[in-house]
Structures are given as C-alpha cells and as structure tokens.
Structure 1
Amino acid sequence: MHPSTAPSLTQTLTLITNLLSLLLTSSLTVQSFITRWKTIQSKLALLQSSISTISSSPHFSENQLLQDLIPNILTLLLQTQSLSQQCQSNPEGCYKGGKLLMQSNIDIASAQVSTYLHDLDLLIKSGVLQQSNAIVLSQPAPGSDNKQDLEFFIRDLFARLQIGGIEFKKKALESLLKLLRDDDKAAVLVAKEGENVRYLIHLLELNHNSSIREQAVIAVSVLASVSESSRKCVFEEGGLGPLLRLLEFGSSNLKERAAMAVEAITDDPENAWAISAYGGVSVLIEACQSGTPITQMHAAGAIKNIAIVEEIRVALGEEGAVEVLLQLLVSGTSTAQEKSANCLWILASDREDFRVSILELGGLQNLLQLLQKPLNTNTLEHVLRAISALSVSDRTLKILSSSTAFLLQLAELINNTTLPISFQQISVSILSKLSISDVNKRSLSSCMASLVKMVEFSKSAGLQETAAEALVSLLSVRSNRKELVKDEKSLSRLVQMLDPNTESVCKKLPVVLISTIVAGGSNGCRKRLILAGACHHLQKLSQMEVVGAKKVLQRLVANRLKNIFSRTWRD
C-alpha cells in the first residue's frame, strides 16, 4: 500500500477491533490444537480490552509509539486469522508444511500477542496517552517540587525505552541519563519501580545493540552510585552478574562503567558476599591487572570492599590479589594507590599468610616509598595502617627501626596537629614497637614535646600509654633527657601530671617517665625536676602508694642530700 493511501491510526484501530471480534468467535470452533487456541483466545480477550482503552484515550493518535505498534498488531492478527482458518478447515491435521510447523506458528503467534499485551499495558499504565504530545514531554526542572510531573516523565521514558525501536530507545536513554545526572531524586523514583531497573539490567546483555548497552550500563552505574535505595534495587534485580560479564568481556568503555557499578554495589557489606557466587573475584583481579586506569581504580575499590568477607579473603589469596595490588601501589593512579593501600591493610590485619606474602613480594618497601611522596589524607592513613599491620612481624620491625627516613616521617606526623588524631595514634603505636639506635633516637627528639602532650591530654583509648612507651625509649639517650627537661613547657607538663589533683592521666605514667629521667644520673636533670616541684607531688603519691613513686622520690632526695653534704665537707 502506498504511504498516501495507508489507513490512519483510527482506521487501523477500527480494523483491529473488528478482526478481534471475528477471531474470538472463530477460535471457539477450531478442530485441532484446541488447548493452544484456548490460551490464545484468553489473550485476545485481554487485547480487545486494551485496544478499547487505547481507542477511548483522548490523545492516542498523537503518540508516536502507537504509530509503529498498532500496524504491527494488525499484521499479527491477520496472520493469526489465517492460522485459525487452517485449523478449522483441516481437522485431520493436513497442514501445509506439516503439523509441527503449524504448532510452532501457533506458539509464535501466542507469544507475540503476549508481547503486545505487555506493551499496551505499559502505555496505558504510564498515563502518557492522557496528555497531548506525551512523547515529547519536557524534563522537569532539577529540584522541582512537583513529584507527580517527575514520576510521569519517568513513566514516559520507560514506555519509550521498552516499546520503541532502536532510535526510540537511544533517545529515551539519553533523556534518562540527563535526568539522573541533573536530579538526585530521580534515581529514587526510578528504583521505586523495580521493573524499570530490571529492564535496564536486561539491556546489559551482550546480545543487545552496543550503543544501547553502553548507555544502559551508564544508567545502571549511576543508579548504583547515587543512593542507597537505588543501589539496593540494582542488586536485588540481578544487576551484579551482567555487570561482571561486561567487566570480563565488554569494551574498554563498558568495563569502566561496569567496574564503577560493581564497586558501588559491593560498598554495601550485605552485597559483597555475592561476588564469589558469580565467580567475580578472578574477574576483578584481572581488571586490576589489565584494565584501563579508570577500570583498575574501581576494580581495586571493589576488591577492597569484598576483602571484608572472610571467605572471599581466602579466594583473594588463592587468585594472587596481593601481587596485583602491589603493582597498583607502584604504578596506579593516586586513587588506585589509595584503594590498594586500604585493601593491603585489611588483608595484612587479618592473616599471617597475607603478611608473609606482602613482605616476600616487597610490599613493605613499596609502602615506604609511597610514604615519601605527597599523598592525600586518606592514602596516607591507609599506607600507615598497612605498615602498622605488618609491624607485628620481627622482620618488619627490623626494617622500620633502621629506616631513618621513615622514623623522621613518624616524628613529623606525631608533631602534625592539623591531621586527625588517628594519624598520631598510628605513628606513636609504630614508634613504640621499634628498637631504634641511639643515633636515630637523637634525631627523633623533636617529637618528645608532642609525646608529653599526648600523655597529659589525650582522650583516645590507649594513646597515653603508647606515647609514654615511646617516650621511655627516646629518653634512654642522655642528650634527649637533657633536652626534655630544658623545655620549660614539657617539664611543667611532666610535673603537673604528678599532681594527685590532675585526673586526666594515670599517675603511673608520669612516674615512669620521671624515673627514666632520674635513672640517667644527670645532676642537672634532677635539679630541674626538684626546682619544678616534683618532690612535693612525689611525696603525696608515695603516701598514696602509687607504684614507683617512693623509689623515684628517694633518688631525687638522696642526690639532693649528697650535694648538701658535699658542699659542707668542702666548706
């Protein structure tokens, strides 16, 4: 038929309505495949109801989706009518092409009727047929308070996405992506209808058009990243499996987006366990090894997320994750380095075999080298924590104790009050474990004042004790003892801590520190302590039976008396 003589949409709907009436009647009188025709008959009755609803919609003729859909339905019904006539005129089963072909054709027709029923039902429920020019609805302004307009726009998008052809799908996806980027609320509304997300995930399958699949994976990655509810919906609708397949077999662009979505999904601990069910551990490790920098960054983030699951940690060890993470620590982007360091910390904190593997592969050296570079706060903390986790090993302690560069950096971190308290905690904890040479102890004298402050004021659990341990180690060097007592502020803090009325610190800590200073035998140090009022407080602590207080007091007083007798003898 020439386009100029093609029937209008209204005329085509009339033809469909008449044809449905005939088919519903004729299907009652078929002589073969009766069960199959009963199924088709029930579907045709539903189709008749849908067509009636469409016909009564005020703006159906303006909807471009129906321009393609309605003629296709008419073609299907004409084919179905032909099948019905053959089944009526050939009760003995003498069909052109044979009985099996006829059976197959009936099943195909039944499936197609189901598809069109779904499409029409989607259009009707969306409400787009009730509005003029629904197919070119304008996107609501970002932050718009009109939730109804936004919901309507989303329904229209997904109607076009599911019913339309390639071009319709592309344009619908473009609009969807713009909406998700412009308005955070849109993701929640999209996820509200699980069928919407399920269809997007369906578009990720490798048999779909490549450009549509690429847009769909971007939409899924945005949904997985933008809110907790939309991320949960992507996972519950089965998004993890298809995303991992794209990460394994997709193009570079698809892998980047898939890795981003997988990282976002596994950020929820309740989802992380599912990686192993899809064989995703090896996929993520391979992505870290051979992907683009962006893919590596997000794959490393996903590995960091799943490393919290004990069973998956075993798989990470077996699949060689440590070696790959150490490679990223050296050659990856700054963000990839941050995530790799975080993961290495998690692994090293858990098991001895991971610590051994990291050390044997040169991981400690890699961490120390990275520590010498300018790092953001997060990376610096993860590197420090990874080194701290490795420091349970004697081999690690030996290396760290002899690294002057590392020790000086610890001193800088201890003195840096602009960083979170966690940095001082980690640094002091490492320092307190080390067996440092006297030369290096002297080079660390700059952090003694900060350690005294931590002993006096820190509210962080365990930091006061750890800082005191580190100070005791540094004060084993004579020059450090002299330097500390010459520092008026530090000396005042030490003596103030001895005061029984000072409740911010356990008294055994300043007693131990004073004892370390006095044990060195320096008369100058003892004199400064006495002049600062240490004897007065130690006398009270002795009466309170604080461990060590009496012994320290005796040393101070005995030395003072010795000096008095010495002067008297000379006189």
Structure 2
Amino acid sequence: MHLKKAATVVLMLHSTEEEILAKACEAIYKFALKGEENKATLLELGAVEPLTKLITHEDKIVRRNATMIFGILASNSDVRKLLRELEVMSSVVAQLAPKEEVIIHEFASLCLANMSVEYTGKVQIFEHGGLEPLVRLLSSPDPDVKKNSIECIYNLVQDFQCRITLQELNAMPVILELLKSEYPIIQLLALKTLGVITNDKEARVMLRDSQGLDHLLKILEAKELNDLHVEALSVIANCLEDMDTMMLIQQTGSLKKLLSFAENSAIPDVQKNAAKAITKAAYDAENRKLFHEQEVEKCLVTLLGSENDGTKIAASQAISAMSENSGSKDFFNNQGIPQLVQLLKSDNEEVSEAAALALANLTTCNSINAKAAAKADGIDALINVLSSKRDGAVANAATVLTNMAMQEPLRASIQSHDIMHAIIGPLHSANTVMQSKAALTVAATACDVEARTEVRALFHNDIHSPIFLVCTYWWINLKHFQVFDPTHH
C-alpha cells in the first residue's frame, strides 16, 4: 500500500459503516506490520486518534482489528507518546476483560507491554488497574498472551508500589507456574520477574511457601535449560538472604547440590552469579555457619581458578564475606591465600582489588594467615598494588601490609622491599581512606631506628597534612610496641 492509498484508508477510519471500518483497520494492520517506517507514516497521517475511539467500538470485529493495530503501533516511541497524551490506557486495559476473545487479549497485552517500557506508561497502566487483569492473563491458554502479560508485569514491578500490589494479588503461584512453560522466553521473563520481586522479604516468604525453590532447583538440574541458569541463580541469591529459606535449602540437601552445581558449571556467568549468591547470604552470621558446614570454601577456591575475571572477582568477594567466620578464615590458610596472592598480579585491576580485599579480611587479627600471605610471595605483589589506579586496591593492599608488619620477621621483610618509597604516593592521595591506611602501614613498619631515620629523610621537607597524619599514627604505634623513644622527634 503506497502513501496515497494509506492516506485514503486512514480517512476511512472516520466512516460510520462497520464493514468499512473493519476493512480499513485490517488494511492498516497489514501496513503497520511491514516496519517502523510504515508506523511513522500512519502517525503522520493522523491514524492514531480515530483508532483510539475504535478500540471501544461496539462491533467486535472493528474492536478486534483496532486493538491489533495498537499492539503493533505501540512499539514506536512517538506513537507511545501520543497514546499517553490521549489517555487511552483505560480503554486498552478494558480489552483484557474475561469476556473478550483471545486475540484481543493478545494484542491489548502486547500494547501494554510496549507501553510499559517507559516510566510514564508504567504509571498509567498501574493507575488504570492494569496489573490485576495482567496477573489473571498469566493463566491464559494462549502462550502469546502469557508472554506479553509477564513481560508487562516485569516492567511494572521495577516500581515498589507495583510489587506491593502484586503481592496483594497473590501472583506468586501463577508466576511460578510459568517456569514449567515449554517456551523459554516465558520461563526467562518469569525468572526475571521473580529476580526483581524477591528483593522484598515478603515475596521471598511467598516463594518459599509456594514451593518455589523446588521449581528453581529443577531448572538448575536440567542441562537443556542452561540458558536459564543465570537468572535462576539470581532468584536463589535473593532467597538465600532469608534465614528460614537458607535453613530449608540446607535441610533438604539442596545447598550441597547448589554448591556442586556452581563448582562444576562450564558457564562463567553461572559461576559468577553463584559466588554472588554466596556473598549476599554470607553477610548473615548464621548463614556463614551453614556455608562453612557445607564446605563452601572448597567451591570458592575452585572458582578463584576460573578463566573468567568476573568469576574471580565474585569468588574473592565471597571469600571476603566468609572470612568473618573463624573456621573459614582457618581453612583459607593453605587453600585460597596462595591463589589470592596470584590474583594480585592480574592485569585487571578490579581483580587485584577484590583479591586484596579478601586478603585484608583474612589477615586481620590472624597472624597465621599473614604469614601464609608472605610465604606465598605476597609482600612484593602487595607493594606493586600500591601503585594501582584503583583507590580501593591500594587501601586494601596497605591493610594487608599493616597486618603483616605486626610480626617482627615479616616487618623486616617488608622494609627490605623498599616500602617507604612505595607508600609515598598513597600518602599524598586526595582519598582520605587511602591516606589513613597508608599512614597505618608506615606506623606499623617504621618501628626501629633505621626505619624512622628513613621516614625522616623522605619527609624532611614535607609540611603538608599526610606527614602529620603519618606522625600521629607513628607515635601511637611506637607506644603500642613499647619502643617509644623521646629523643626521636
């Protein structure tokens, strides 16, 4: 249909005859299907305004054809803008009523799915009561209706108020039912929706009470569903924050399965998400205890050896979280610390920062781990990290060196690596956290006459704040080690 004919058909939308209206809508639908350019043309020809009246037409065929057009046209951002201005949302939502035929449900839900990609569209859908009929349509026998409805719901639940309403509608069981769909796109959208709503504690409880964990674990156990494993793990990660859920997973033997799955998966994003799930859960002391009983440390050490940088970072962060457990801290003495030291040398500075954080947590108040880090040639690697462009990496490395320097033999070794020259840069940093960590490192290492002489020589002409900060920590430190010498000012 060329432009002149399209203009004529658009004029036909103003007809009072139902047969003409139905045929005009059918022609416009076919025209709109052919691409974005045609959708823009229909907008320019003024087709949208008369169509908004036809979606509530008393004739079923006219109403159906008009709704089909809107389902297609709403993928165009300019059309969406005009639809919002014309306030047609209540008319579109009305097409989701149970009495309407499936094809109207399909295209009305498609229109809403398209409209929900923008914030204002979400607000209008919610305010016109769109969420309740969309939840009802998740049980539709038609897969396209299900797909459009769950996609729209996924967009809507990015907003907290929509999540609250979704809980009130008791939508959890029907969303979980979508995980059994034969269509991967429906399963994926259901998982993505669960990933958002289970950020709220109430939704996690509802998922647990609806046996949702069984559905999620079945997905993980199905190798043919590996495209869904990453999203399934994201939902499980949220659930592991809930102590009762964690206990349930542990009691049913599912936690061991989960760790084994993470350790043996060949998909980097799966391993990364599994480590992130462990990190999230490990912020709780009871969860850390359960993880330790299930020997999570072995899994994390395996993940440190991944070829994927994202997995290495996530595993290091999980070790940082688990190091709050004394048993875990002891485990990593022989397994884990040597691998983390190797990661300090990574070309990816984000990897070295995460490794340095893990080492900082593992060596704090733990002389055995500090020795293990030194034994793994950690001193040289840590001093090299002091020149990193990432402030966090420098601060973490300085903390590990401070922890090591609490022991005389390690302190001497650190001094022999020219620590004072390496620490000058961090001491002059504009980042006060990095500056204070570096100052503590100087305080911990400058504990003999020779080291103090070196410090005075390096900072003799420096009257700026870092040197005064260093001196403050230095004097406190000298008193702590009971080597305070009043003759050395």
In which range does the TM-score fall when normalised by the shorter chain?
0.5 to 0.7
Letter of the 1:313 counterpart: R
Mapped contact 2:150–2:190 kept (Cα < 8 A): yes
Determine which of 229, 236, 256 is the counterpart of 1:365: 256
Does residue 537 (structure 1) correspond to residue 441 (structure 2)? The answer is no
Determine which of 154, 172, 177 is the counterpart of 2:48: 154
How much does 1:291 deviate? 6.3
In 2: Cα distance, 1:453 partner to 1:62 partner: 68
Match of 2:176 in 1: 285
How much does 1:380 deviate? 4.6
Structure-to-structure mapping, 1:448-527, within 5 angstroms = 448-450=341-343, 466-471=358-363, 476=369, 481-484=374-377, 489-490=380-381, 492-493=383-384, 504=395, 509-515=400-406, 518=409
Match of 1:204 in 2: 96
Determine which of 311, 314, 324 is the counterpart of 2:215: 324
Match of 2:145 in 1: 254
Does residue 397 (structure 1) correspond to residue 282 (structure 2)? The answer is no
Mapped contact 1:408–1:444 kept (Cα < 8 A): no
Mapped contact 2:139–2:146 kept (Cα < 8 A): yes
Determine which of 70, 75, 81 is the counterpart of 1:176: 70
Match of 1:220 in 2: 112
Match of 2:16 in 1: 66
CA 381–268 in structure 1, closer or farther in 2 if over 3 Å, else same: farther
Structure-to-structure mapping, 1:399-414, within 5 angstroms = 399-401=294-296, 403=298, 405-410=299-304, 412=306
CA 421–157 in structure 1, closer or farther in 2 if over 3 Å, else same: farther
Match of 1:275 in 2: 166
Letter of the 2:200 counterpart: V
How much does 1:445 deviate? 1.0
Mapped contact 1:448–1:471 kept (Cα < 8 A): no
How much does 1:274 deviate? 0.6
Letter of the 2:74 counterpart: L
How much does 1:441 deviate? 1.9
Mapped contact 1:432–1:467 kept (Cα < 8 A): no
Mapped contact 2:304–2:339 kept (Cα < 8 A): no
**Secondary structure of 1:255's aligned partner:** helix
Does residue 298 (structure 1) correspond to residue 229 (structure 2)? The answer is no
In 1: Cα distance, 2:336 partner to 2:10 partner: 84
> TM-score, with normalisation over the residues of structure 1?
0.59
Root-mean-square deviation (CA, aligned residues, Å) is: 4.7
CA 490–68 in structure 1, closer or farther in 2 if over 3 Å, else same: closer
CA 304–144 in structure 1, closer or farther in 2 if over 3 Å, else same: same
How much does 1:293 deviate? 3.2
In 2: Cα distance, 1:359 partner to 1:478 partner: 34
Mapped contact 1:445–1:474 kept (Cα < 8 A): no
How much does 1:354 deviate? 1.5
How much does 1:239 deviate? 1.3
Letter of the 2:290 counterpart: R
In 2: Cα distance, 1:457 partner to 1:342 partner: 22
How much does 1:247 deviate? 1.0
Match of 1:186 in 2: 79
CA 61–192 in structure 1, closer or farther in 2 if over 3 Å, else same: closer
CA 315–530 in structure 1, closer or farther in 2 if over 3 Å, else same: closer
Determine which of 340, 346, 360 is the counterpart of 1:447: 340
CA 479–322 in structure 1, closer or farther in 2 if over 3 Å, else same: closer
Match of 2:3 in 1: none
How much does 1:412 deviate? 4.5
> TM-score, with normalisation over the residues of structure 2?
0.67
Residue segments in structure 2 that go unaligned for 5+ positions in a row: 1-8, 389-393, 421-444, 453-470, 485-489
Letter of the 1:208 counterpart: E
CA 266–420 in structure 1, closer or farther in 2 if over 3 Å, else same: farther
Deviation string, structure 1 residues 329-374 (Cα, Å, up to 9, x no partner): 333845643333222222322x321111122233433432442324
CA 551–466 in structure 1, closer or farther in 2 if over 3 Å, else same: farther
CA 516–330 in structure 1, closer or farther in 2 if over 3 Å, else same: farther
Letter of the 1:193 counterpart: L
How much does 1:66 deviate? 0.8
Letter of the 2:106 counterpart: E
Mapped contact 2:337–2:359 kept (Cα < 8 A): no
Letter of the 1:191 counterpart: R
CA 187–551 in structure 1, closer or farther in 2 if over 3 Å, else same: farther
In 2: Cα distance, 1:422 partner to 1:143 partner: 45
In 1: Cα distance, 2:334 partner to 2:10 partner: 85
How much does 1:544 deviate? 1.9
How much does 1:490 deviate? 2.0
How much does 1:296 deviate? 2.6
Letter of the 1:447 counterpart: L
**Secondary structure of 1:168's aligned partner:** helix
How much does 1:145 deviate? 13
Match of 2:460 in 1: none
Residue segments in structure 1 that go unaligned for 5+ positions in a row: 1-58, 71-122, 124-132, 498-502, 519-524, 554-571
Match of 1:239 in 2: 130
How much does 1:246 deviate? 1.4
Deviation string, structure 1 residues 440-480 (Cα, Å, up to 9, x no partner): 725651321545999x99998x9966531325669649775
Q: Kindly name which structure, 1 or 2, has the bigger radius of gyration based on alpha carbons.
A: 1
